[in-house]
Amino acid sequence: MPNGKVVTRTGQPAPTSGQYRAVGSEVEYTLARGNITPPNRYSTQQRFVLVDKSKNKS
């Protein structure tokens, strides 16, 4: 991952509100700051990258 990207892992809170994409997937999740990232079906750690930051103040 290039530096400057917001990255979080499965089970960790989202550091910033916005749309996150699971690495290696086309599925996007909308998370508010502090929401826990969803688990995956393989019970492994997965990285989520912020692809579109929310325009609100949270």
Q: What is the rounded CA–CA span in Å between residue 26 and residue 50?
A: 13
CA 14 distance to own-chain centroid: 6
Q: What is the rounded CA–CA span in Å between residue 49 and residue 9?
A: 9
Q: Look at residue 4 in the predicted model and tell me its pLDDT.
A: 58
DSSP secondary structure letter of residue 13: B
What are the residue ranges spanned by the domains of the chain? Answer: 7-53
- pLDDT tens across the length of the chain (58 residues): 445 588 999 999 999 999 999 888 898 999 999 999 988 877 778 899 999 888 876 5
Q: Put residue 43 in one of left, alpha, beta given phi > 0 → left and psi -120 to 50 → alpha.
A: left
Q: Look at residue 17 in the predicted model and tell me its pLDDT.
A: 92
Q: Look at residue 31 in the predicted model and tell me its pLDDT.
A: 93
Q: Look at residue 49 in the predicted model and tell me its pLDDT.
A: 93
